[in-house]
Amino acid sequence: MSVVRSLLVELLCEELPPKALLRLSESFAQTLSAELASAGLCTAGTAVTPFATPRRLAVHIAGVAARADDKPLRQKLMPVAVGLDAAGHPTPALQKRLAALGLGDVAPERLIRGADGKAESLFVDTVVPGAGLADALQKALDAAITRLPIPKLMQYQLESGCDRPGWTSVSFVRPAHGLVALHGADVVAVGALGLQAGRVTRGHRFESKLPQIELRDADDYAAQLSEQGVVASFAERRALIVAQLAAAAAAVGGGVRPIDDEALLDEVTALVERPNVLVGQFDPQFLAVPQECLILTMKANQKYFPLVEGNGQLTNRFLLVSNISPADPSAVIAGNERVVRPRLADAQFFYQQDRKVSLAERAEGLDRVVYHNKLGSQGERSARVWAIAHAIVEQLRMATVPYTPEAKDGFDVLESKTLEAARLAKADLLTDMVGEFPELQGVMGGYYARHEGLRDGVAIAIEDHYKPRYAGDVLPRNHTGTVLALADKLETLVGLFGIGEKPSGDRDPFALRRHALGIVRILTEKNLPLELPALVAAAVPVFGEHISDPSEAVLEFFHDRLAVLLREQGYTAQEVDAVLALKPTRLGDIPKRLSAVRAFAALPEAAALSAANKRVGNILKKAEQVPAHVDPARFSEPAEQALHTALQAALPTADAAHERGDYTAALQTLAALRAPVDAFFDGVMVNAEDPALRNNRLALLAHLHAAMNRIADLGRLAA
C-alpha cells in the first residue's frame, strides 16, 4: 500500500434541516468510509470522525492510502478443449480472448490448467492494479450523496462553474456552495453537485474573523474551524450545550433544572455553530395557563429549555441557546423575551376562550368532524368507545378472578364515571388549544373537566385515556382511565383492522403497533382479570356493517407484539415461545408464567422432562385417536403403573398451587416425575400391537402432557 494520510471531505451548504442533520451526518460518514474500505484504501477499523454543523457535512478518516495495493487474480479463460488444439497450441479463440484482456503477449507456459466442475479449463494469473484515491473517492462521494436519507430534495440552479451559469439544475437537500477534499495537505481532484474540490471553507456566519478559511491539512480541520468560531463536532457541541444548560440553571438557583428533552437537545445542537446559553424570563401571570401549554409553546416554537423546580413545577425562567456570544448579551435576551411573549399570550387567550364552552357542548360538534371516511365521524367514534367501555366494565363485573374498583366506588359508580368520561374524552379536539397543539389532546380535556367541576376521577380519565402514548410512558392512573384507555385503543385497532388498514413492514401510519403494546402493558402490568379474545369480541359488534370481522388477525397481531415486548424485557426466545405457545387469554398472569418457566428451567430435572414432553407431544400428534380415560387395570409393565402412581400423587399438590396462582410451585412439583417418566420410555413400548394396550398408554401420556403444559409448553424448552 502507498503512503497513508488522513482524508477530509466536506460539503458546505446552506442551512440543513436541523431534525435530519444527525442522520445525514452519520450516513455521509458511514457510506464514504465503507466505500473507501471496499476499494482497499483503508481498513474497516480505521477511525472515522463525522462532523456536522448547520451548514456542513464532513468526515475525517484517519488512515487512507493514495493507492490501494495491487491484487493477484486468477482469471478463467475457457475450457481446455476450446483453447488448445490437438498439439497443445493456443487456438484463435484463446488468442482473441487473451487480446481482449490485454494479455496478448502471455507465454503459453503461463497458462494454467485447472478443474472447473466436471471439465478442465484454462486460467491465467494476472494482477489487478489497486484503485487510485481520486477515482475511488469520486465513486464513494457519489454513493454517499446518493444514499443520504434526505427528507425532501430541493432543486436549484448552479450559480457558476459551468459554461452556462444558471442553466444546470442540481437536486440536493440544500444548495451546496463548497466542496473540500484533502488527503493530508493535498487536494484530491473530485467533484460533486457541480462543485470541484478545493481546500477553502467558511467559519462562523457572524463571528468568523476571516471571510474564508484555507485549510492547511486534513488533521487541522477541527482546530482551524474552532479558531473561526465553529465547533465542528456535533457530539462536542451537544456536550457543550448540556454543560452550559446545567451551569446556567445552577446560576439561577432554587434547585431549578432545564426540562429533559433529548429530541430538542439534538435539534438545538443542529441549529448553532458555537452555543452560548443565556437565561430569559417571562411575565409570571402566564403561569396561570396550564404548564404543558407553555412548555410546548417554548419548546416547539422557540426551541427554549423551560426551567422547572424539583417537583416539576414550571417557573417563569427559560434557557435559550444563542449562536452568537456578544460581550453584552442583554439585547439577545431582551429580543428573545420580546418574541416569546406573544406566543404565551396566544396560549393564554386560547385557554381563556376554550373554558367559555363546556366539554358537553363541544362533544355535540364531534359529529361534524371526520375520523375516517370508512369509519365515520369523531362523534360515531366516541359512541363506539362508549359502548366498548360499557362492555369492559361488565366483563370486570363478571370476572371469575375478583376485581375491586376504587375503595369508595362499586361497579355502578365505575360504570357511570367511565361512560361520562367516554362521552367527553374527544371533546377537546374542538378546542383552540388542541387545534394549535394537537400533542395536548387529552391533557387539555383533563384541565377543562376540572374547571367544570366534573366528578373526581373523570377528569383524570379524560387526560389519561391516550396513555401509554409511547414506549416507557406511564399507564392510566385510575380504574376509570384504565377502562377508557382500553376501550379507546380497542376501537382504533379493531376498526382499522376491520377496513384493511394493517401495518406492513415499516409502514404504520395509524400507530397500531403502539396501540397494541399499550393494551398489552395495561393488561399485564395492572394484572386485570380480562380475557383478550373477549375484549376483541366485544369491540367488533359496535361497528355494525362498517367492518369485516378482524378478530383473528387482531389477536395474532397482539400475540406478535406481546412476543416482541417480552423479549425486550429480557426473557429468552425459548421462554417466551413456551408461554405464548398456549395462547394465554389472560395477559395479566403471563409474567408469573414466565417466572415459573425460568425457575423450572433452572432445575436439574428440567432438560430431561422438557425433552420427554416434546417426545410425548410428537407421539400424541401422530396418534389417530387418544382415549380420554386411563384404565389402571390394563397396565402390563411396572413402569406404566409407576408413572401413573407418581402422576396421581403429584397432581393434587400441583393443582392446588395452580389454583392459587403459584405457577412456580406447580411446575416444581411436577419435577418429581422425571424418574418415572425416564423409566417409562426406557421400558415401555407405547405403540404396542394390542390396540387396547396402545390406547391406554396413549391416554396415560395425554394425562401427563396435559399436567405438564397447563402453564407453558415445556417441550419448547428442549434444545
Q: C-alpha grid cell for residue 202?
A: 467558511
Instruction: Give the domain range for residue 211.
Output: 4-68+132-227
Q: Are residues 102 and 198 in the same domain?
A: no
Per-residue pLDDT tens for 173-184? Answer: 999 999 999 999
The pLDDT score that the predictor gives to residue 660 is: 87
With vertex at residue 622, the alpha carbon angle to CA 619 and CA 624, rounded to the nearest 5 degrees, is 120
Phi, psi angles (nearest 5°) of residue 28: -60, -45
The pLDDT score that the predictor gives to residue 159 is: 64
Task: Please report which confidence band the pLDDT of residue 408 belongs to, taking 50, 70 and 90 as the band edges.
Answer: low
Q: Are residues 290 and 377 in the same domain?
A: no
Q: Are residues 317 and 418 in the same domain?
A: no
**Cα–Cα nearest to 231, from 195, 204, 193:** 204
pLDDT surpasses 70 at 406 = no
The pLDDT score that the predictor gives to residue 281 is: 96
Element (H, E) at 586: none
Calculate mean pLDDT across residues 619-637: 82
Per-residue pLDDT tens for 520-577? Answer: 999 999 999 999 999 999 999 999 988 999 999 999 999 999 999 999 999 999 999 9
Q: Are residues 214 and 240 in the same domain?
A: no
**Which of 128, 154, 169 is a domain's end point?**
128
- Whether residue 532 is contained in a domain is answered as yes
- Whether residue 37 is contained in a domain is answered as yes
The pLDDT score that the predictor gives to residue 279 is: 97
**Which of 322, 354, 386 is a domain's end point?**
354
Query: Which residue would you say has higher pLDDT here, 104 or 72?
Result: 72
Q: Are residues 503 and 402 in the same domain?
A: yes
**Cα–Cα nearest to 252, from 305, 288, 298, 294:** 305
Q: Are residues 275 and 415 in the same domain?
A: no
Phi, psi angles (nearest 5°) of residue 628: -80, -25
With vertex at residue 61, the alpha carbon angle to CA 56 and CA 64, rounded to the nearest 5 degrees, is 135
Q: How many helices (H) and strands (E) does the chain have?
A: 26, 20
Q: Are residues 33 and 122 in the same domain?
A: no
| Alpha-carbon span 293 to 326, nearest angstrom | 32
Calculate mean pLDDT across residues 35-49: 88
Encoded amino acid at 539, one letter? A
How many structural domains comprise the chain? 5
Helix (H, G, I), strand (E, B) or coil at 109: helix
- Whether residue 578 is contained in a domain is answered as no
**What mean pLDDT is reported for the chain?**
90
The pLDDT score that the predictor gives to residue 480 is: 94
pLDDT surpasses 60 at 162 = no
Per-residue pLDDT tens for 303-360? Answer: 999 999 989 999 999 999 999 999 999 999 999 999 999 999 999 999 999 999 999 9
The pLDDT score that the predictor gives to residue 409 is: 66
Give the CATH number for residue 688.
Answer: 1.10.730.10
Q: Are residues 51 and 176 in the same domain?
A: yes
Q: Are residues 406 and 348 in the same domain?
A: no
Q: Are residues 519 and 624 in the same domain?
A: no
Q: C-alpha grid cell for residue 322?
A: 444563542
Q: Are residues 309 and 425 in the same domain?
A: no
Task: Please report which confidence band the pLDDT of residue 296 belongs to, taking 50, 70 and 90 as the band edges.
Answer: very high
Calculate mean pLDDT across residues 574-585: 91
The pLDDT score that the predictor gives to residue 35 is: 93
Calculate mean pLDDT across residues 644-655: 90
- Whether residue 579 is contained in a domain is answered as no
Give the CATH number for residue 529.
Answer: 1.10.3210
- Whether residue 686 is contained in a domain is answered as yes
Q: Are residues 601 and 472 in the same domain?
A: no
- Whether residue 664 is contained in a domain is answered as yes
Length of the chain equals 719
